[in-house]
Amino acid sequence: MGSKTPHRNPVRRMGDRNVLCHDYNSCLDLAAGKKWRTFCCDYCVFQSQYYIPAPHELDIQPYLALIATVLGENRAA
């Protein structure tokens, strides 16, 4: 018998979410596509697994610069 590859399993109900899961964005997309108001990770095989971002992924300077640019343009208008 071959081993099955684990898959995400978001459930449509209130509960805990693992926002640091490597597959969290896919679950958000799934929930949005099905028009769920909420979902939880309580029964998912990835519930206790965490994605640790690389240091370059934590660089928020480009986002801060964008916000400053947008706010600066809005103030000038």
DSSP letter string, 56-72: GGG--HHHHHHHHHHHH
Tens of pLDDT along 30-76? Answer: 999 999 999 999 988 888 888 777 777 778 888 888 889 999 865 55
**3-state SS of the chain: helix, strand, coil percent to 5?**
40, 5, 60
Q: How confident is the model at residue 4 (pLDDT cuts 50, 70, 90)?
A: low
Q: Using CA atoms, how far apart are residues 5 and 74, in angstroms rounded to an integer?
A: 49
CA distances from 19 to 9, 23, 39, 52 (A): 14, 9, 12, 11
Q: Using CA atoms, how far apart are residues 9 and 3, in angstroms rounded to an integer?
A: 18
**% of the chain exceeding 70 in pLDDT:** 86
pTM above 0.85, yes or no: no
**% of the chain exceeding 90 in pLDDT:** 34
Q: Give the pLDDT score at 33.
A: 96
- The ranges assigned to domains in the chain are 1-77
